Structure 1
Amino acid sequence: MAKDILLEIGLEEVPARFLRAAMNQLLDKTVKWLDDSRLTHGEAKAFATPRRLAVWIKDVAEKQEDINEEVKGPSRKIAQDETGAWSKAALGFARSQGVDPETFTFRELSGVEYIYAQKSSVGISTESIVAEALRNIITTMTFPKNMRWGTHDFKFVRPIKWIVALWGHDVIDFEITGVHTGRTTRGHRFLGSETEIAEPTLYLEALRNQHVIADIEEREAMISAQIAHLASEKNWHIDVKEDLLEEVLFLVETPTVLYGAFDPAFLNIPQEVLITSMREHQRYFPVLDEAGQLLPYFVTVRSGDNRSLDIIAKGNEKVLRARLSDAKFFYEEDQKVQIDTALAKLENIVFHEEIGTVGDKVRRIRQIADQLAVQLHVTPEQATAVSRAADICKFDLVTQMVYEFPELQGVMGEDYARKAGESEEVSRAIFEHYQPRFAGEASPASLTGALVSIADKLDTIVGCFSIGIIPTGSQDPYALRRQAAGIVQILLEHQLSLTLEQLFDIALNIHQNLRNMKRSYDIIRIELYDFFGLRVKKLLSEHLRYDVVDAVIASGFNHIGSVVARGHDLMKVVQETPDFKLTIESFGRVSNLAAKSSGVAVQPALFIEPAERELYASWQAATTEYRTLLAANRTAEALALLSSLRPAITAFFDQVMVMAEDEAVRENRLALLAAVDQDIRSYADFSKLVK
């Protein structure tokens, strides 16, 4: 008869950021043990609160499944020598399977005779192995940070205070650090008490009676419903960020939503400052009106019931008032500092010991941004704005507000610059140059912000590559992948006529002129191109078939707008034009033979067959316009023009013997195919398409 298993690890309060991963780890390890042990089971579910991790497995079999299987070994020719004695290979196979060689059987498979081992094992009872298994699961769990307590050498995320371990109605007996298993759990620290769990199915209800909601989905639903009710009642928009909701979810055992207020005078401070202070320091949800403007209220979640909420609210208001007073002080003090004074302090902040200070970085950003402006032929007024924005884009890093809240860099720079008399375009660009900061965020709206953003990100990437800091696997300490993806996004969304090679050369030359680069310019350039290629491929793969992505990437991605447009237009034609596979086949025949060309120029005088003259004439009529269309990023028209060569290509292969005996004629025909193939490959490598 199947029984349920319940394991609860009672702990001192665990940091909220550790709990979900720890809960999932406990679940995964328990399920893996059951599966590896051949123990059938039903649904498995994990639970977590600040003071506990738990897992409940339903309908676990009372014993392991019996094993009766046949395992194939080496061939008989390898397993036995001429005398019939077992070889080392056969004996090794027998040891690995735990069987006697004399029990081997022989069977023919595909004309070859192999030895087989018959394995059988009677399953043992779950009860006899579960204690050791659960103890091992707990003691092998890993966490970002561990603690030791008392005189124990054992490390865990927080000290273990109690353990509930049940096999149906029975306690599973083991101990860790002197804590013995039992059926007694603990409720809410203030509202509940100890209670016994008779059997696993009663676990959630027993805790609920002690003011603990162990199921995280139930707890989250309670929080969301209470917030929604409050918002409807007050006609508020309560801004609930997922990361903050996740943290609050693991800070409480019984959630009760409440609200408080703060002095409206604080609204004179930029609302980003107030919101950040509320979220980061107090874990409060800000309250906004319909226009998205901050209201002088906050929403929080207590771990407890709804008694004395007015007292709890007043206590939170008192703490928040102190926090906002600090923010107000920082904000006012920061405005007393001149921008030039702040910039001078950047010379004392090291960006990287091998790359220089933040002041050095700003000078490189200015030069890169200026050259980008030149390449794009912007107006003199625009160029002046780009230079000024680049010069002061990092000045707010030395302000007290950004020191307290690093996530406000750019936000405070924009506000302080505007108050210091900088133009709206320059002020806004200080904020925008950090965009996009993460996947899904918008690019800078202004061209000034876009150019300074590219310059900043490009400087970081080139600087890191120049000293050998290149992302590998999961290691990317300077978020270079994200910054490269940001550059690609900006180039695409602003439709900037800048190629990757232009960007690399501008930045590399500036780094080379302003500092000693330890690595080769050419090697870094190749590495940068490959690195950005992966970002472009990832971007395309979000929307296009893998073979289409491979095809257009193979023809180059130096111009981001071109490769994206080629990819989307090729995808559309492949999906919507059934006979396009014939075009792909004809392009493939051209490419296969073009590879044999020696590189000589086409000589029309050597044409003999009408079909080769026709192909040459068709190509000549199309190539100039095709290249013009491709350069103008009119890729759909370019592909249509390229595809129009198919009839002439088909006739050529039907009527012309390419590999003629006359060497001059043969080379001329191969040269013609090579010329056509050059245009074909400038669009895509069509051989990579799955027909």
Structure 2
Amino acid sequence: MAKDLLLEIGLEEVPARFIRSAMEQLKEKTVKWLADSRIGHGEVKAYATPRRLAILIHDVEERQSDVNEEVKGPSRKIAQDESGAWSKAALGFARSQGVDPDSFYFKELGGVEYIYANKSSIGEATGTLMNESLPALITSMTFPKNMRWGNWDLKFVRPIRWLVALFGTDVVPFEIAGVSTGRVTRGHRFLGNETEISKPADYAERLKEQFVYADVEERQKLILDQIHRLAEEKNWKISIKEDLLEEVVFLVEYPTALYGTFDPDFLNIPQEVLITSMREHQRYFPVLNTEGQLQPFFVTVRNGNEKAIEQVAKGNEKVLRARLSDARFFYREDQKMPISAALDKLETIVFHEELGTVADKVRRIGSITSKLSNLMNADSQTAQDASRTAQICKFDLVTQMVYEFPELQGVMGEDYARKAGERDAVAQAIFEHYQPRFSGDQAPASRAGAIVSIADKIDTIVGCFSIGIIPTGSQDPYALRRQAAGIVQILLAHNTACKLSDVFLAALEVHREAGLLKRDAADIQKDLFDFFGLRVKNVLSENARYDVVDAAMASGFDDAASSVRRAAALMNAVRLPDFKTTVESFNRVNNLAGKATKTAVDASIFQEKVENELYTLWAEVSSRFNSLMTEGREEEALQQLGSLQPAITAYFDKVMVMAEQEDVRANRLATLAAVSSDLKRFADFSKLVW
């Protein structure tokens, strides 16, 4: 026999950002407990709203499964002393397994005798186990922030106000912080009442009767359907950000979408400001027209029904009016401050106590930008734009708008710079130098923006590495991984010949001149290569097999763009039926080339025709191969290497490389070393897996 299990924790309103992870944690802990307890079950469904976390498990077995298994203990040498008596290790094993030492027997495994025992027990009733285990399971949950209430020592995300625990139709009795389990749950705080759950399968439907949609997916679908219906009726485009939708889903139990308006005069403010204010302060969805321009409307979701919905809309409009008035005030006040005055204020803002102020950072960005402009072959106008951008790229950090909405850094800088008379290219680059801001974001479109973005990011990375802030595990407080990935993305997007080592050295020189290097520059550079290597590898792994990635990376990744192109060429090649034979010939060359003791090849001591044929062909292929690699035409370069395969095969068929004559042997190894030098420039072909 099997019964359904329902467990619900009723709480005061939980912060929306905590709820999904808490719901998943409850599910994972319950499923793990069932597995560890040898209790079979069926489908598992988790529920969550701002006031509850719940889990419904179908077809839970009424008893644990019986145990009858053979368990291995310590070796005989450890298990018995010289007199044959059981040692402490053996007795400890007996206790841990719940068996009598007299039941031990010996079996040989890998030439060593071990003690074994048959462990058997009759499964207990599931209901009995739940009485003890479910309260411990609940109180073991962890959250980013906890509360204590009353005189209880328990720390939990919010105070527990009711508990429902049903196994079949029976209540599982236990108590937590003075709250006893029962079958009564609570509906919507204002629209619903308490309701009794007669059996677990009725849970979601009973709550709907009390104006609660406990199913997260169903609640989200209701919200989206209502928003889309509004958009269709009004011919609007309603912008729905995933993170805002997620938050709204966990702010309501009974969602009802509604719309409101605001004064069109506010549209004179940049729409990014208005949208940010609506989203961040009010959790509103902005309304756009078909061209993506903001309209004087907003959509929000009420935690309730449609009763007095017009009054609710008016209340939201009033609150939004105050928010947008504040934003307009900040916007106007910010424009009264000259850029030079804003830059002066940066002198008082500490970037890092060991790396100086933000103004110090801006000066370093300027110096690095100058070096990168040369390395990235920027024309004179681009170099001038990049230089000016570097000088003023952080001025908007001291504006009231960015203080209120930090996510608008760069956005406001672009707008204020244009209004202050800066060139459009400079204003655009101020915005772009923060890109890419997150995974999946675009790289800067302009070359000036790309140069300053790299300069800003590598300054932060080198500075942190210099003072010992290197990401480990999940710890990355300065988002150095994201910034390193951003540099790689920019280099790839702009297909520049600038190498990673060029970028590293530019920043290291600037930090050395500023007296900021706290470690040896060579050690920092080594750490940088290791750090960036993982970022390049991640990029290659998006479109290539693991072995192809390893093969391409082994030949270096200093030129990130070349690494990507080499991996792509290899991916195309490994699909060809005859490429395996080509790779085998390459590997034979590389294996013997490692034994070469000289680099110069003397054609006058060739003894076989195939020696001259391979060397002559290689000389022609090598010239074309290296030119193609320099031009970024790696696909064709690999084809050139492949053309050597027949000559290599013939060479090994006719020539004894390890000849007895020392000069002949050394010359043949030198020939293979010459061929190998080009092969290794492209990839380590031995890493390819067939």
- Contact kept, 8 Å, 1:261 with 1:297, in 2: the verdict is yes
Q: 2: distance between equivalents of 1:81 and 1:309?
A: 83
Q: 2: distance between equivalents of 1:318 and 1:107?
A: 81
> 1:98 and 1:599, CA in 2 relative to 1: closer, same or farther beyond 3 A?
farther
Partner of 2:316: 316
Alignment of 1:99-114 (within 5 A): 99-105=99-105
SS in 2 for 1:445: coil
User: Does structure 1 residue 378 correspond to structure 2 residue 378?
Assistant: yes
Partner of 1:514: 514
Partner of 1:117: 117
SS in 2 for 1:181: strand
Alignment of 1:122-201 (within 5 A): 122-201=122-201
Q: Deviations over 1:654-685 (max 9, x none)?
A: 11111111222211211111111111000000
One-letter amino acid of the structure 2 residue matched with residue 142 of structure 1 = T
- Contact kept, 8 Å, 1:450 with 1:490, in 2: the verdict is yes
- Contact kept, 8 Å, 2:544 with 2:567, in 1: the verdict is yes
> 1:13 and 1:119, CA in 2 relative to 1: closer, same or farther beyond 3 A?
same
Partner of 1:15: 15
Q: 1: distance between equivalents of 2:185 and 2:101?
A: 53
Mark the runs of 5 or more structure 1 residues left unpaired by the alignment: none
User: Does structure 1 residue 585 correspond to structure 2 residue 578?
Assistant: no
| Greater displacement, 324-333 / 197-206 | 197-206
> 1:241 and 1:94, CA in 2 relative to 1: closer, same or farther beyond 3 A?
same
SS in 1 for 2:558: coil
Q: 1: distance between equivalents of 2:442 and 2:258?
A: 34
- Contact kept, 8 Å, 2:91 with 2:101, in 1: the verdict is yes
| Greater displacement, 104-113 / 198-207 | 104-113
By how many angstroms is 1:107 displaced? 5.5
Partner of 1:63: 63
Partner of 1:657: 656
- Contact kept, 8 Å, 1:185 with 1:197, in 2: the verdict is yes
- Contact kept, 8 Å, 2:596 with 2:673, in 1: the verdict is yes
Q: 1: distance between equivalents of 2:489 and 2:284?
A: 33
Partner of 1:679: 678
SS in 2 for 1:258: strand
Q: Deviations over 1:593-622 (max 9, x none)?
A: 111112342222222222222221111122
Q: 2: distance between equivalents of 1:91 and 1:341?
A: 78
One-letter amino acid of the structure 2 residue matched with residue 605 of structure 1 = S
User: Does structure 1 residue 417 correspond to structure 2 residue 404?
Assistant: no
By how many angstroms is 1:76 displaced? 6.6
By how many angstroms is 1:588 displaced? 0.7
Partner of 2:688: 689
| Greater displacement, 416-425 / 172-181 | 172-181
Q: Deviations over 1:203-238 (max 9, x none)?
A: 111111111111111111110110111110001011
Partner of 2:439: 439
One-letter amino acid of the structure 2 residue matched with residue 125 of structure 1 = A
SS in 2 for 1:497: coil
SS in 1 for 2:231: helix
Partner of 1:27: 27
SS in 2 for 1:63: coil
Partner of 1:474: 474
Partner of 2:261: 261
Q: 2: distance between equivalents of 1:368 and 1:111?
A: 66
Q: 2: distance between equivalents of 1:78 and 1:161?
A: 54
Q: Deviations over 1:457-477 (max 9, x none)?
A: 111111111111111110111
- Contact kept, 8 Å, 1:600 with 1:667, in 2: the verdict is no
Partner of 2:632: 633
- Contact kept, 8 Å, 1:499 with 1:559, in 2: the verdict is yes
Partner of 2:363: 363
By how many angstroms is 1:87 displaced? 6.7
Q: 2: distance between equivalents of 1:85 and 1:135?
A: 43
| Corresponding pairs, count | 690
Q: Deviations over 1:276-305 (max 9, x none)?
A: 000000000000000000000000000001
Partner of 2:616: 617
By how many angstroms is 1:81 displaced? 8.4
> 1:88 and 1:586, CA in 2 relative to 1: closer, same or farther beyond 3 A?
farther
- Contact kept, 8 Å, 1:491 with 1:561, in 2: the verdict is yes
Q: 1: distance between equivalents of 2:506 and 2:587?
A: 38
By how many angstroms is 1:376 displaced? 2.9
SS in 2 for 1:124: coil
One-letter amino acid of the structure 2 residue matched with residue 612 of structure 1 = E
By how many angstroms is 1:84 displaced? 7.0
Q: 1: distance between equivalents of 2:68 and 2:61?
A: 18
Q: Deviations over 1:539-580 (max 9, x none)?
A: 0001100000000100011111111101101110111x1111
SS in 2 for 1:291: coil
By how many angstroms is 1:45 displaced? 1.1
Alignment of 1:236-275 (within 5 A): 236-275=236-275
> 1:346 and 1:112, CA in 2 relative to 1: closer, same or farther beyond 3 A?
closer
| Length-normalised TM-score, structure 2 | 0.97
| Length-normalised TM-score, structure 1 | 0.97
Partner of 2:97: 97
Partner of 1:403: 403
Partner of 1:527: 527
Q: 2: distance between equivalents of 1:377 and 1:366?
A: 17
SS in 2 for 1:129: helix
CA RMSD of aligned residues (A): 1.7
SS in 2 for 1:441: coil
> 1:460 and 1:137, CA in 2 relative to 1: closer, same or farther beyond 3 A?
same
Q: 2: distance between equivalents of 1:685 and 1:363?
A: 42
By how many angstroms is 1:100 displaced? 2.9
> 1:547 and 1:660, CA in 2 relative to 1: closer, same or farther beyond 3 A?
same
Partner of 2:450: 450
Q: 2: distance between equivalents of 1:22 and 1:567?
A: 41
| Greater displacement, 214-223 / 287-296 | 214-223
SS in 2 for 1:214: coil
Mark the runs of 5 or more structure 2 residues left unpaired by the alignment: none
Q: Deviations over 1:378-424 (max 9, x none)?
A: 22222111111111111100000000000000000000000111111
> 1:402 and 1:111, CA in 2 relative to 1: closer, same or farther beyond 3 A?
closer
- Contact kept, 8 Å, 2:355 with 2:516, in 1: the verdict is no
> 1:652 and 1:91, CA in 2 relative to 1: closer, same or farther beyond 3 A?
farther
One-letter amino acid of the structure 2 residue matched with residue 506 of structure 1 = A
Q: 2: distance between equivalents of 1:401 and 1:442?
A: 24
By how many angstroms is 1:74 displaced? 5.8
> 1:88 and 1:671, CA in 2 relative to 1: closer, same or farther beyond 3 A?
farther
Q: 2: distance between equivalents of 1:72 and 1:148?
A: 45
One-letter amino acid of the structure 2 residue matched with residue 472 of structure 1 = T
SS in 1 for 2:675: helix
